[in-house]
């Protein structure tokens, strides 16, 4: 029997921005209750967001069946629609893994409260071994002598029905290639478990945008050697692939650092494999055969997407999303074929097996999706469905962003260049966003497979956010941009209402809430219809 109780309380907007239809469907009470969810106006915010959050959670505690005193609100985030205050559960001054709460405030009203309390019993040990001993135990167990990055966090973790005082040591090593999280007992330094938490998924440079298959609109393209027996790990040039290169800006990078093989700028810090020397002043004219190509790809596309979030979608200032210089390793490291994002060290690494992952910008944007979610909802994906939502969003983010320049070519087929190493299908798709899967009967309990349902749902919502009258007045590029801009703004805003233990139902409800808060109640029936078609709950 599980010792953890999950209580979800969602309070959507019954503020002045509510539509007439929404008000008409509301009961006379300000608090709407349906299937464990409360939706309504919880009252005015108090002085200060943390004070408001504490009072709101305390007021709702009895109905939720939680102890508000065990939660500590320590994070205040601002989005396009309001303020979101996050809390973690603590015991003996130590964070309890899996215990979290969120209170969201829109237009000066508390509109969303959600809490998950871990009920297992346990306490911190009086004489822990310490972080240094945990570090030594973890790297020794993994066989690592010179880790590239280490992060250590002390937590109370539920194990076999009890809370165990634990050090979580997140390790990245390049030689040997190891990326893992090790749980070390604070009591005696013993290894409790090992897990892989990685989520795999001003100059000018000549790069792929997003990849040669999309640019050339030719799904038959392959890297040289793919069919010749020369091996899939070659990075040889080919006239057809070179023809797909386009000029892309490398903005605001540190010139001195580039000579050391690192591209450092406001939105990306990329560790490359060799000094970035300009063969022509102001230009990095490298082809895919050069080991520096993937580093330039990562820098240009991450920098471009972050600027898109800020300048086009409006995620700036306190509402910014992952507005930092994202750490990236674009190295050909033996042992790392797949790409991943490692939350504990907040870094991305691109694999080099087959087609190098860094050659496909859709892979880059997929992995950046995990970094975005980790910034918006620290600890994202603690449930199976949450993990699937993470993978699905990464696919959707990449697909929607590059659909703006694809002229409609294979938009629902994501990471098609990278997939040429794995698939003989035509077209080659690592995953698709037009899956016929239906929830819940097609759940496979594998995050990438189940994530196809979430990506398909988001893509279908995207298609419904521009009505037919608007569409008739737009050309193809304008229509693609409008669909992508609106849907990405909606989805990214919805993330701010989620907790690390969210599931598909929570995701749908936050989209409904975000649509109303963004002033687009006409999107609500679209979201409901697309969710219902796949089988996701809508209430």
Residues 6+ apart with CB under 8 A from 247: 204, 205, 206
SS (H, E, C) 86-108: EEEEEECCEEEEEEEEEEEEECC
Does 538 have pLDDT greater than 50? yes
Whether 416 contacts 213, CB under 8 Å:
yes
Q: Would you say the pTM of this structure is higher than 0.95?
A: no
What mean pLDDT comes out for the span 391-401? 98
pLDDT at 334: 60
Tell me, which fold does domain 4-118 have in CATH?
A: TATA-Binding Protein (3.30.310)
| Residue 147 confidence class, pLDDT cut points 50, 70, 90 | very high
What mean pLDDT comes out for the span 328-340? 78
Whether 169 contacts 151, CB under 8 Å:
yes
Burial 29-60 (b: 16+ CB within 10 A, else e): eebbeeeebbbbbbeebeeebbebbbbbbeeb
Q: Which residue has the tokens 């996701």?
A: 536
Distance CA 162, CA 121 (A): 5
Grouping H, G, I as helix, E, B as strand and the rest as coil, residue 461 is helix
pLDDT at 262: 92
Distance CA 495, CA 510 (A): 7
* Radius of gyration of the CA atoms of the chain, in A: 24
pLDDT at 36: 33
- 176 cis-preceded (ω within 30 degrees of 0): yes
Distance CA 371, CA 366 (A): 9
Does 268 have pLDDT greater than 60? yes
Taking each helix axis as running N to C, give the angle between helix 476-495 and helix 361-376, from 0 to 180 degrees, rounded to the nearest 10.
30
Does 15 have pLDDT greater than 70? no
Q: Is the dihedral of CA 130, 131, 132, 138 positive or negative?
A: positive
Give CA angle at 27 (24, 31), nearest 5°. 120
What mean pLDDT comes out for the span 323-344? 85
**Side-chain-facing half-sphere of 327: CA atoms under 13 Å:** 10
pLDDT at 492: 99
Q: How many helices (H) and strands (E) does the chain have?
A: 14, 21
What mean pLDDT comes out for the span 115-119? 93
Does 238 have pLDDT greater than 50? yes
Domain boundaries, the chain: 4-118, 131-195, 203-534
| Phi and psi torsions of 113, nearest 5° | -135, 130
CA dist list (Å): 94 to 72, 76, 188, 378: 11, 20, 18, 17
Does 34 have pLDDT greater than 60? no
Alpha helices by DSSP H, listed for 165-292, are 212-216, 239-242, 255-258
Grouping H, G, I as helix, E, B as strand and the rest as coil, residue 184 is strand
| Residue 4 confidence class, pLDDT cut points 50, 70, 90 | very low
Q: Which residue has the tokens 């790809």?
A: 297
| Residue 229 confidence class, pLDDT cut points 50, 70, 90 | very low
Closest CA to 14 of 36, 34, 35, 38: 38
In DSSP terms, 7 is beta-bridged to 115
Whether 78 contacts 319, CB under 8 Å:
yes
pLDDT at 20: 27
pLDDT at 286: 93
Does 231 have pLDDT greater than 70? no
Kindly provide the residue ranges of all beta strands, DSSP E only, lying in 107-226, ordered along the sequence.
109-118, 149-159, 162-174, 177-185, 191-195, 203-207
| Residue 7 confidence class, pLDDT cut points 50, 70, 90 | very low
pLDDT at 225: 67
Length of the chain counted residue by residue = 539
pLDDT at 494: 98
What mean pLDDT comes out for the span 199-218? 88
Q: Is the dihedral of CA 511, 514, 515, 521 positive or negative?
A: positive
pLDDT at 64: 87
Closest CA to 383 of 341, 445, 432, 440: 445
DSSP letters of 59-80?
Answer: HHHHHHT--GGGEEEEEEEE-S
pLDDT at 29: 35
Residues 6+ apart with CB under 8 A from 316: 310, 323
| Residue 63 confidence class, pLDDT cut points 50, 70, 90 | confident
pLDDT at 174: 85
The DSSP bridge pattern shows strands 94-106 and 149-159 to be: parallel
Could you tell me which residue, 268 or 199, shows the higher pLDDT?
268
| Residue 39 confidence class, pLDDT cut points 50, 70, 90 | low
Taking each helix axis as running N to C, give the angle between helix 384-402 and helix 361-376, from 0 to 180 degrees, rounded to the nearest 10.
130
Whether 16 contacts 43, CB under 8 Å:
no
Distance CA 452, CA 97 (A): 28
Does 482 have pLDDT greater than 60? yes
Tell me the per-residue pLDDT of 67-94, one tens digit each, with 9 for 90 and over. 999 999 999 999 999 999 999 999 999 9
Distance CA 70, CA 53 (A): 13
Helix, strand, coil in percent for the chain, rounding step 5:
35, 25, 40
Distance CA 265, CA 268 (A): 5
What mean pLDDT value characterizes the chain? 88
Whether 519 contacts 17, CB under 8 Å:
yes
| Residue 200 confidence class, pLDDT cut points 50, 70, 90 | low
pLDDT at 3: 36
Question: How is residue 191 written in tokens?
Answer: 């290894």
What mean pLDDT comes out for the span 170-178? 87
Lowest mean pLDDT among 43-52, 249-258, 336-345, 409-418: 336-345
Distance between alpha carbon 215 and the CA centroid of its chain, in Å?
A: 26
Tell me the per-residue pLDDT of 496-537, one tens digit each, with 9 for 90 and over. 999 999 999 999 999 999 999 999 999 999 999 999 999 999
Distance CA 310, CA 503 (A): 28
């Amino acid at each position: 029997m599980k010792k953890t109780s999950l209580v979800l309380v969602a309070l959507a907007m019954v503020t002045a921005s509510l539509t007439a239809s929404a008000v008409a469907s509301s009961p006379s009470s300000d608090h709407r209750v349906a299937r464990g969810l409360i939706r309504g106006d919880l009252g005015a915010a108090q002085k200060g967001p943390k004070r408001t959050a504490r009072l709101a959670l305390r007021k709702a505690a009895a109905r939720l069946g939680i102890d508000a005193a065990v939660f500590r609100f320590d994070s205040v985030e601002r989005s396009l629609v309001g303020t979101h205050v996050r809390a973690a559960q603590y015991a003996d001054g130590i964070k309890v893994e899996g215990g979290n709460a969120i209170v969201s405030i829109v237009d000066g009203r508390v509109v969303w409260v959600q809490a998950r309390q871990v009920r297992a019993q346990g306490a911190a040990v009086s004489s822990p071994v310490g972080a240094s001993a945990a570090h030594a135990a973890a790297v020794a167990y993994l066989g690592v002598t010179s880790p590239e990055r280490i992060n250590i966090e002390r937590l109370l973790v539920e194990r076999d029905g009890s809370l165990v005082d634990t050090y979580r040591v997140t390790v990245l090593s390049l030689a040997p290639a190891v990326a893992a999280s090790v749980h070390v007992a604070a009591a005696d330094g013993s290894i409790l478990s090992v897990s892989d938490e990685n989520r795999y998924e001003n100059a000018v440079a000549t790069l792929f945008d997003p990849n040669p298959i999309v640019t050339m609109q030719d799904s038959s393209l392959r890297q040289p050697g793919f069919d010749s027996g020369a091996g899939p790990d070659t990075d040889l040039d080919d006239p057809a692939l070179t023809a797909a290169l386009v000029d892309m800006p490398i903005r605001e990078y540190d010139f001195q650092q580039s000579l050391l093989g690192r591209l450092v700028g406001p939105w990306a810090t990329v560790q490359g494999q060799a000094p970035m020397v300009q063969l022509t002043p102001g230009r990095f004219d490298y082809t895919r055969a050069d080991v520096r190509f993937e580093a330039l790809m990562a820098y240009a596309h991450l920098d471009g997407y972050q600027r898109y979030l800020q300048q086009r979608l409006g995620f700036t200032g306190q509402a910014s999303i992952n507005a930092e210089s994202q750490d990236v390793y674009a190295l050909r490291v033996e042992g790392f074929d797949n790409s991943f994002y490692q939350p504990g060290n907040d870094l991305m690494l691109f694999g080099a097996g087959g087609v190098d992952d860094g050659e496909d910008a859709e892979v880059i944007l997929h992995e950046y999706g995990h970094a975005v979610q980790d910034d918006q909802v620290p600890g994202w994906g603690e449930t199976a469905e949450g993990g699937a939502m993470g993978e699905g969003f990464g696919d959707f983010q990449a697909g929607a962003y590059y659909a703006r320049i694809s002229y409609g070519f294979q938009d629902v087929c994501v990471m098609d260049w990278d997939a040429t190493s794995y698939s003989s299908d035509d077209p080659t798709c690592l995953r698709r966003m037009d899956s016929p899967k239906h929830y819940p009967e097609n759940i496979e309990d594998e995050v990438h497979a189940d994530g196809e349902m979430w990506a398909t749902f988001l893509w279908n919502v995207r298609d419904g956010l521009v009505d037919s009258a608007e569409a008739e007045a737009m050309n193809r590029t304008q229509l693609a941009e409008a669909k992508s801009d609106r849907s990405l703004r909606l989805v990214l805003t919805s993330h701010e209402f989620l907790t690390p233990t969210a599931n598909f139902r929570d995701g749908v409800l936050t989209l409904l809430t975000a649509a109303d808060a963004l002033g687009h109640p006409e999107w609500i029936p679209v979201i409901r219809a697309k969710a219902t078609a796949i089988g996701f709950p809508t209430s």
